Amino acid sequence: MATLIEAKDLRKRFGAIQAVDGISLSVSAGEVLGFLGPNGAGKSTTMRMLTGFLEADVGSVQLAGIALDADPLEARRRMGYLPEGAPAYPEMTVRDFLMFIAQARGFLGSEASRRVDGVIERIHLQQVLGQTIDTLSKGFKRRVGLAQAILHDPPVLILDEPTDGLDPNQKHEVRNLIKEMGASQGKAIVLSTHILEEVEAVCTRAVIINKGKVVVDETPESLMARAPEGSGSSAMDVVFRSVTSGDLEEAGQ
């Protein structure tokens, strides 16, 4: 399998805080990597470095074979990104916004409309097309963010909390879409989430970070297997707590 995301020893410091402290990730085509960690563990900062929004103090990123610092535009063309909170221009209608993204991604004329129509159908945005983004519910806003990220069918997807604010039906739908993009379209996908069951449901790999460092990198199944017997459906929670709260972690080792 081709490696589509290759991050080596990423480090980022904000003032006195070492937000990300040497994170390396390598994600192959077809992999869906669930990025977990407590608030402030450095998830968003890491994702921002993967997309080039933040420059790493140390370390390098390659997206689909292109080094981010050597050719940022080409690397960005191969990547779709849903930033934290799914930001979008509130005064624009959904259709205008997606057309802007399509044109900014270099699609011209009818090709741009074709791309936008395609993604509208895939994400089921037909009913809000003419609405301005500030009138959308949180769920629809998130889906517009997802739509702009996959519009150009990139090999690499970085999604910061793609299902946050969705209702259970929408969550189910978006998870299926992500699974499909990984399994049958061979994309490399990194998604961050707070919902542990989501990792079980869609991810082929779980990475837990804590205090800017990777503490777990394995399949969701083997992660579950770490839990003491009898923890049942909360197995994931038990493991998450034990690897991210310092005391337990040290006690366990």
Partner 1 sequence: MRRVSVVFRREFSSYFATPLAAIFLVVFLFLASMFAFNIGGFFDRGQADLRPFFQFHPWLYLFLVPAISMRLWAEERRTGTIELIATLPLTMQDLVLGKFFAAWAFTGLALILTTPMWWTVSFLGEPDHGVILCSYLASWLTAGSFLAIGSAISSLTKNQMVAFVLCAAACFLLLLSGFSVVLDFFRGWAPNMVVEGLSAIGVLTHFESMVRGVIDLRDVLYFASLIVAFLVINTAVIDWRKAA
- Establish if 73 lies at the interface with partner 1 (CB under 8 A): yes
Give the nearest distance from C-beta 88 to partner 1 in angstroms: 7
Distance CA 158, CA 176 (A): 16
- Closer residue to partner 1, CB minimum distance, 89 or 221: 89
Give the nearest distance from C-beta 31 to partner 1 in angstroms: 21
- Establish if 164 lies at the interface with partner 1 (CB under 8 A): no
The H-assigned helical ranges of the chain are 43-51, 72-77, 94-104, 109-123, 138-150, 168-183, 196-202, 220-225, 235-244, 246-252
- Establish if 92 lies at the interface with partner 1 (CB under 8 A): yes
Distance CA 196, CA 185 (A): 24
- Establish if 106 lies at the interface with partner 1 (CB under 8 A): yes
Give SS3 for 130.
coil
> Torsion angle, CA of 17/193/166/162, rounded to 10 degrees?
80
Distance CA 23, CA 70 (A): 20
Give the nearest distance from C-beta 183 to partner 1 in angstroms: 25
- Establish if 109 lies at the interface with partner 1 (CB under 8 A): no
Beta bridge partners, 120, equal none
Give the nearest distance from C-beta 100 to partner 1 in angstroms: 5
Give the nearest distance from C-beta 136 to partner 1 in angstroms: 14
- Establish if 79 lies at the interface with partner 1 (CB under 8 A): yes
- Establish if 251 lies at the interface with partner 1 (CB under 8 A): no
Q: What mask, x for binding partner 1 by CB under 8 A, covers residues 119 to 138?
A: -------------x------
Using the structure block, give the residue that is written with the tokens 């990792």.
Answer: 199
Judged by CB under 8 A, which stretch of 72-80, 181-189, 197-205, 207-215 contacts partner 1? 72-80
Burial class (CB in 10 A: 0-12, 13-18, 19+), 162: buried
Q: What mask, x for binding partner 1 by CB under 8 A, covers residues 40 to 59?
A: --------x--xxxx-----
- Establish if 18 lies at the interface with partner 1 (CB under 8 A): no
Asked if 143 and 158 count as a contact pair (C-beta separation under 8 A), the reply is: no
The residue type found at 236 is: M
- Closer residue to partner 1, CB minimum distance, 55 or 121: 55
- Listed residue (240, 220, 237) closest to 31, CA to CA: 220
- Establish if 148 lies at the interface with partner 1 (CB under 8 A): yes
Distance CA 198, CA 186 (A): 20
Residues that bind partner 1 (CB under 8 A): 48, 51-54, 73-74, 76-77, 79, 81, 83-85, 87-92, 96, 100-101, 103-106, 132, 148
